[in-house]
Amino acid sequence: MSLVHSPALHADESDYSTTFYNEDEGKEQRAIMRPFLEPAYVPSPERLASYVGESNLYYKGKETPEQLKAMSAKRQASYDKIVAALPEKLSVPVARKRKILVLCYRSGMDYHVPGQAGYLILLREAAKKYGTFELTEAYKPDGIDAKMLAGFDVVVVNSHQQLGRRGRYGLEWGLIKEHPEMKEEMAKRQEEEMKVFKPLYEELLPAFVKNGGGLVGIHATALLEAGRDDKGSEFTTMLGGVDDGWCHPHFNGKLASTGQYCPIPIKILEPNNPLTFAFRDAPKALLNSELFSLWLPKSSMNETRAIVRCDYEKIPGLTYNDKSEERCKDFASAIIWIKSYGKGRVYFNVLGHDEEIIGVPCVARAMLDGLLYATGDLKVPDALATAAPAGQ
């Protein structure tokens, strides 16, 4: 497994490739995240030309110097916004320096890379500012075992969408209709990668959390087993919820049903829970990101606690899957949920599709509070109704 300690090692441009899938996927994932983690990076003319024909959402291969400069400036502004969003201090003291393993691979084609990189920027900058976190970034999934995991306090699944790939065909299962000749190859790839992912997600991570570790899931992590409901998946039981397959009621700042631009109002379900305090002074309609319609597995029915959700009743045209909403009111539209699992703790935040949302101060604080909950430093009573600490 390729482990890179934060801050990430810089490498010569020859280490990077435009293709996501090859024998060195760790190197590929770093390459696809690089423009966001290093805003000043500008591809050489030769590298830029190589993007032509690739499935790439950031470079089309024909950008002018002025356009490249503008792209870098925009990414730098997003980076600076995340840094500025960090609170002056953490919400609670940290008992000791916490070791965090961040799984940074397989981001779902290019779509989730901005948010994946934005969350990583948040963690890196927090580690530098507060001195309380030691980050290890994993860019390849193979090689993780129980002994290695035992050295960490928290594992972060950073918007990992298992089967999303990009490259010559922009491969995803949804594109098989356009490229039926790839069906057999995709099935073979899935079979091979499951030999690595299944032990990690179905055995190693659940055992780690059951034994007292913390798990943080960000955004596209809910897509790992989308639509699954108690089909022998320990990961789904541990995480506490998945995308229900109905998918996006709100997409890239717009209502999926009408295409109308619309910020997201939030509804705080547990106003006295310390994990929701970040939103106390936030505007009523402040969030602009991609939301999922979520499904609560039967195995987590009485365990998963949605504590913040989208207040979709205030937005005509913003709807969720009725079947999911019937199963557990407030969960289909959840933005943040938590749950205990064995001796450990799980925190999930559906925000994080793009880097801009992570630069919103209340979101940045909420994500750091979630990390502190996962480490065990921010204590949250088990009861659904929590009392506000004195002075809050």
Region of poorest pLDDT, from 25-29, 125-129, 269-273: 25-29
Residue 162 is predicted with a pLDDT of 58
Percent of the chain with pLDDT over 90: 39
Q: Which helix (H) or strand (E) holds 214?
A: strand 214-218
Asked if 121 and 39 count as a contact pair (C-beta separation under 8 A), the reply is no
Least confident segment among 66-80, 170-184, 248-262: 170-184
**Mean pLDDT in residue range 342-367:** 93
The sign of the CA dihedral 115, 140, 4, 156 is positive
Structure tokens at 320: 């969720």
pLDDT at 377 over 90: yes
Mean pLDDT of all residues belonging to the chain: 80
DSSP 165-184: --STT---GGGTTT-GGGHH
Question: If pLDDT is split at 50, 70 and 90, which confidence band does 119 have?
Answer: very high
Range 3-375 classified under CATH 3.40.50.880: yes
- Mean pLDDT value of segment 55-72: 82
Among 194, 18, 201, CA closest to 103: 201
Query: Residue 296 phi/psi, 5° resolution?
Result: -100, 115
Residue 132 pLDDT exceeds 60: yes
pLDDT of the residue at 248 = 79
Residue 252 CA to residue 223 CA, distance in Å, equals 17
Mean pLDDT score, 201-220: 94
